[in-house]
Amino acid sequence: MVPAHEGRAAEPVYRPILANRRGELEALGHLDDVVAPLLAPVLQVSVLDQFTLDVLRRLPDGLLTAVDVTGLPDAPEAELVRWGVPLVPVIGLADSDRRLVAHGAAARAHAQRAVVRLRVGHDRAGPDAATAAAERVWRLTGLVPEQCDLLLDAGDVCCRADVRVAEPRVRRLSEWARRHAWCSVSVAAGGMPPAVSALPTDEPVRVDRWDWQLWQRLADLGVGYGDYGVGSAVPGADQAGDRLPTVRYTTDGAWWVYRWSRRGGRGDDRFADLCRTVVSAPHWPATGAAFSWGDHEILRRARRGAGAGSASNWAAWSTSHHLAHVLAALRQRGRESRPGPWRSGQAPPERGRPARPHRNGETRRAG
C-alpha cells in the first residue's frame, strides 16, 4: 500500500473528527480519488477490531488518515506502527511517555508528521505550561513543530452561548500557537445535539451548525476547519436508543434532521417516503445523485431501487453528503477573497466584529 502522504496534489483543507463506526468508515471508503487528498480525517478509535483494520487498509491512498487511540488502553496493541497501515498519530499533551515514544515511531515510519490535538475546554493551564507540554511531546516523539499539525478541539458547541464561550478560548490558544512553527493550525467543534431522539418526527427539523458559525467568527485568524461530521462531540452520544430511520442532511449553516416514524406499511416504504421528502426539498443539490455517494444512495431509495438499509447505512449516507458539502463550501471560500492562511511568528491579528447570530434562534422546525 502506498503511504497516505505520497502523491498528494495539495494540503488538506478539512479535518473531520469521526468515530470508527461502520457508517463513518464506509463513507470514507467511498471518497472520490480527486477529493480524498483534500481531507485529513481524525478517527477516534475506541474499540480495535479486525473490521476497523480491514477498512483502514482499503481507504483511498490519497487520504491522510490520522488515528486517535486515546480511548484504547496504553498497551502494545494500540501502537499504530504495529497495525501495518500508513497512519498519522494523533498526540495529546497528556499522553504517557510510553505512548509518545510509540507515536514518534509511527510518525517516522510513514507520513513523517503527526497531529497534536489540544482540547480547548480541558487543556487550560496557560501558555507557559502549554509550551512545556508541547516541548515534552517533541522531545519524546523525536518530531519538530514543522512536522506537527495543531488541532484546537473546542468540543461540543451546540448553542449561541457555547460559541460565545469557545471563541475567546480559541483566540487565546491561537495567539499561543503563533509562538511555534506548527505545520498548520485548525479549529474543530461539534454542533450536532447529543440526542437527536428528542427532535420531532415525520417532518424535517432544522438544527443550526454552531461549529460552522464558530469557525466563521474566527475567519480573521486564518485557521483551518474541522468538525465532528454529522455526529456529536459529546462522548458516548449517538450510540444507542433511537432506531427510527434517520438522515442528517447538511446544508449551508444547518442540518436538516429527518426522523420517520409513520405507522403502516413496510419499513422499506417508510424509508422510501423519507428519501422522497429529502430529494424534493429545496436543499437537495442541483447535481442530485452526482453530488456524493450518499446522495446517490438516498435517491435510489426514493425511487424504491433498494431496501431501507440500517442505522449504519443511514449514518454512512449522511456522512458522505456532509463531507462533500463541507469540502465544496471550503473550496468555494478558498476561491473568494479572505484573510491569508495561518502562519507562525505573526503578530496576533486585531479582533473583528463577531458575526451576527442567526436571527431565528438556535433550532427550528421546517416551515
Residue 259's CB is within 10 A of a number of other CB atoms, namely 20
For residues 337 and 317, is the Cβ–Cβ distance under 8 A? Answer: no
Residue 127 lies in a domain: yes
Instruction: Report how far apart the first and last C-alpha atoms of the chain are (Å, whole number).
Output: 50
Query: pTM of the predicted model, to two decimals?
Result: 0.88
Residue 354 lies in a domain: no
Residue 282 lies in a domain: no
Q: How far apart are CA 274 and CA 261, in angstroms?
A: 10
Q: Positive or negative, the Cα torsion across 158, 40, 327, 339?
A: positive
For residues 217 and 356, is the Cβ–Cβ distance under 8 A? Answer: no
For residues 248 and 318, is the Cβ–Cβ distance under 8 A? Answer: yes
* Grid cell of 135 as nine digits: 516541548
Residue 172 lies in a domain: yes
pLDDT in tens, 247-269: 999 999 999 999 998 765 566 88
pLDDT in tens, 165-206: 999 999 999 999 999 999 999 999 999 998 888 899 999 999
Residue 71 lies in a domain: yes
Residue 59 lies in a domain: yes
Number of domains making up the chain: 1
The whole domain housing 105 covers 14-198+207-237+325-342
Rg (CA), the chain: 20
**Consecutive H or E run containing 169:** helix 160-177
Domain of 134, CATH number, reads 3.20.20
Can you tell me the mean pLDDT for 144-173? 96
Give Cα 302 to chain centroid, integer Å. Answer: 27
Tell me what pLDDT residue 224 has: 96
Residue 295 lies in a domain: no
Can you tell me the mean pLDDT for 301-306? 88
For residues 189 and 224, is the Cβ–Cβ distance under 8 A? Answer: no
Residue 222 lies in a domain: yes
92, HSE (Cβ side, Cα atoms, 13 Å): 18
pLDDT in tens, 59-83: 988 898 999 999 999 999 999 999 9
